[in-house]
Amino acid sequence: MNKILKALVICALIGVGGQIAWRFYIASIKSHYQQHLPDRTVLVGADQRAYYIYVPQKSTDRSRDILVFFQGGDANSDGAWLIPQQKRWTELADEKGIIIAIPQGRVFADNEGAWQLNTDSSTMQDIRYIRAMLDDISATQQLATVSVYGVGYSLGSMFAYEVACHMSDRFDAIASFAGTMPVNPKICNPEHNIRIMHIHGTDDPIIQYNETWDWKAWDSVGTMRDIPSLIEYWSEKFNCRERMERKSASTFQIRHSICDQGSAVEHYSLEGWDHDWPENIEGISTHLLMWNFLDQSQ
């Protein structure tokens, strides 16, 4: 009996120790990866929505640009974690005087993801949210006319194309990694053509490069595009009349130019790459490659 009692005590101690170790592990993960920037809230109808913001201290004579980063990840925590290459993005913001905004997604109704995809007139909650966020930034930072750029990753990349369809009056360009858009968008009639960059790994197991796919339980979104047809959709929509190709050992670059309204569509396929955000592409930091495309005033 004593042996059994001792065994039970040992098991209990191990269990308590395991719980403590697990809590310590979770706390450590949060301290390293959870978003630490200050946040603000905006009212969108009856809903309060939050976003994180980084405002550089550098003064500038020109209006500050705004870069909006649409995060991917867990459906209930989009935007709550550090964005890829956050330190480099904030260093660039300090250098260039850029404001960085990181909106937080939210699952509405029976949506499978935290960003609304295939938006129509009845599902504009996220579009209204991003408009309210930009209005809030302009008001609180006392900004005049600014350029607004979007960067998206994974599910955030998919929402970046919602922005291209519905918010071309506010955004000048988007750059995204590892996302796509519906084969049959319900509404996609941009007021203006914007510049689009898309980067994607050929071995992405989640959003496959050459395959269309369907959400598990989000029928209203419909079938999602393979990546070649995604690039074709935008280059045809913008009536791009020139195509340039360049191939290296690790990348295949396509640039569609001479498009209506001065837009452009640029694509990098990363040979053998998966769904993880790449630190660099052909020796150039990914954040800088994107920024050089986004900001055409350089």
Q: Which residues contact 77 (CB under 8 A, 6 or more apart)?
A: 114
Strands 47-54 and 280-281: unpaired
Average pLDDT over every residue of 157-177: 98
Q: Which of 52-61, 141-150, 237-246 comes out lowest in average pLDDT?
A: 52-61
Average pLDDT over every residue of 157-170: 98
Residue 144 is predicted with a pLDDT of 78
d(CA 120, CA 133): 20
pLDDT at 224 over 60: yes
Q: 35 or 21, which is more confident?
A: 35
Q: What is the DSSP letter of 69?
A: E
d(CA 91, CA 212): 37
Q: 141 or 90, which is more confident?
A: 90
pLDDT at 4 over 70: no
Q: Which of 42-56, 113-127, 133-147, 255-269 comes out lowest in average pLDDT?
A: 133-147
What is the pTM (predicted TM-score) of this model?
Answer: 0.89
Q: Which of 256, 252, 278 is nearest to 265 (CA)?
A: 256
Task: Please answer whether residues 105 and 115 qualify as being in contact, where contact means their C-beta atoms are separated by less than 8 angstroms.
Answer: yes
Residue 18 is predicted with a pLDDT of 57
Q: Which of 38-52, 88-102, 114-128, 133-147 comes out lowest in average pLDDT?
A: 133-147
Residue 28 is predicted with a pLDDT of 46
pLDDT at 274 over 50: yes
Task: Work out the pLDDT band at 57, boundaries 50, 70, 90.
Answer: confident
Average pLDDT over every residue of 47-57: 94
- Token digits of residue 168: 């071309």
pLDDT at 44 over 60: yes
- Token pair 């930072």 is found at 141
Task: Work out the pLDDT band at 110, boundaries 50, 70, 90.
Answer: confident
Q: State the chain's mean pLDDT as an integer.
A: 90
Residue 22 is predicted with a pLDDT of 40
